[in-house]
Amino acid sequence: MDRSSAILDRLLGLHPRQIDLSLDRIERLLEALGRPDRRLPPAFHIAGTNGKGSTTAFLRAILEAAGNTVHVYTSPHLVRFHERIRLGAIGGGRFVDDEALADALLKVERVNDGAPITHFEITTAAAFELFASQPADYLLLEVGLGGRLDATNVIDDPLAAVITPLSLDHERFLGVTVPEIAAEKAGIIKPRRPVVTAPQPPDAMSVIERIAARKRAPLHAAGQEWLAYAEHGRLVFQDEGGLLDLPPPKLPGRHQFTNAGTAIAALRVAKLRVRAQAIEAGLTAVEWPARMQRLTNGRLVALAGDGIAELWLDGGHNPAAAVVVAEALADLEERSPRPLYLVTGMLTTKDPVGFFRPFAGLAREVVTVPVGDHEAFPPQQLAEIARSVGLTATSADSVEAALLAVGQLNRGNPPARVLICGSLYLAGQVLETNGTPPG
């Protein structure tokens, strides 16, 4: 076991509830630590329901292509906690090593002195300690949950607040309507600091506009102050600074044109002088695991055998994510027709009906699987839910068994295209089992 793993497990006992949104506890801890949050590099603060991680990945890839060092804070992790904290370095950042992480965790644990604090809050404080102690040109700070009361929302002077597409998710904590969720996400907007927003539902956009106006924060909205769209297979970006004709993003799917555009808009709004060549290089070099990721080697790929031509992985877990993934798969089908099978596991906090509906008429069959030790739908129940929206579905005891089942179900030609989807936890388990963890 890593030295940090035992510390992380111990920190789970400091608060009876894993999620308890508040800024009081982390403000107290940061004060006791000497306010490392006030010694951070210039930061982009990123919130949203879908696309946060991809937008952050585009920002990092472009900034690094321009020769900058970039700290990155994201969550959740896929395989190891260390993935959440990337420390900037010349030539590209790296995940925090175990010794440095363990030392930071022990420091914040000692200073916290047993006071109640959530796991995310105390690990965020440790991340701030690491980011403040090592120089970098920029920090990309992704919100954990919501925005207004998220532990990352202690920074008060970001280069820009960035809000990616909003939809229903985490209703237990953020509200049961899109406007309520938008109010929580827009809580990262700071007085007189610029805001960049991706395309939003009208009822979400009106909330963002109202909060930005109240805080006198300059708002740069997709479709108004900037545009990003696909044309002849390329990405066209346009704002008041001019037009950029760029290569398509390396990450597949139409939605990645939007995410890339949001990243470019944020860089330009922050008045960073990033040359077009760096933007092009970042778009074509970007990596972001478990977001329409093609698995081309590893244990599961070998297990899939000749009956499965393509194995894809995506951690999207809500209806809005399912829509954009289904669109990406429909585009693949148009270019290269193959029978599509889904291997799906979902947590009980998610909306499986809404998730499965976009795949009706697109997927030939769904094979449902468990999601490790998490509170997930039993595979048989999840298969019944898939059938309720018109999909053919069966269940399996594991991803390995599901892939073998697809091989039996798809006996014809051409070989199948398989998407493993429905949960970031499932995606992490797949990458670990496959032997291809993020690196």
Q: Which helix (H) or strand (E) holds 107?
A: helix 98-112
Tokens 């073998």 sit at which residue?
A: 404
In this predicted structure, the answer to whether residue 372 has a pLDDT above a threshold of 90 is: no
Tokens 């090592």 sit at which residue?
A: 134
Q: What distance in Å separates the CA atoms of residue 78 and residue 83, rounded to the nearest whole number?
A: 8
Nearest-10 Cα torsion for 297, 300, 302, 303 = -170
CATH code for residues 3-285: 3.40.1190.10
Strand order in the sheet with 234-239: 226-231, 234-239, 242-246
Residue with more model confidence, 69 or 170: 69
Phi-psi region of 10 (alpha: psi -120 to 50; beta: other; left: phi over 0): alpha
* Span 27-50, average pLDDT: 97
Domain-wise residue ranges, the chain: 3-285, 293-434
Kindly report the average pLDDT of the chain as a whole number: 93
Are 382 and 352 in contact by the 8 Å Cβ rule? The answer is yes
CATH code for residues 293-434: 3.90.190.20
Its pTM stands at 0.94
Contacts 24+ apart (CB under 8 A), 31-39: 32/111, 32/112, 33/107, 33/108, 33/111, 33/125, 33/128, 33/129, 36/125, 36/128, 36/129, 36/131, 36/132, 36/133, 37/128, 37/132, 37/154, 37/155, 39/132
**DSSP per-residue string spanning 54-79:** HHHHHHHHHHHHTT--EEEE--S-SS
Phi-psi region of 296 (alpha: psi -120 to 50; beta: other; left: phi over 0): alpha
Strand partners, 295: 311
Q: What is the DSSP letter of 400?
A: H
pLDDT at 176: 75
Q: Which of 184, 50, 197, 36 is nearest to 122 (CA)?
A: 36
Q: Which of 4, 11, 58, 54 is nearest to 325 (CA)?
A: 54
**Exposure on the CB side of residue 262, measured as CA atoms within 13 A:** 31
pLDDT at 13: 78
In this predicted structure, the answer to whether residue 131 has a pLDDT above a threshold of 60 is: yes
pLDDT at 120: 93
Q: What is the DSSP letter of 425?
A: H
Strand order in the sheet with 365-368: 293-295, 308-313, 416-421, 340-344, 365-368, 393-395
Angle between helices 119-133 and 3-11 (to 10 degrees): 130
pLDDT at 19: 64
**Model confidence at 16, in pLDDT bands (50, 70, 90)?**
low
* Span 78-86, average pLDDT: 96
What type of residue sits at position 233? G
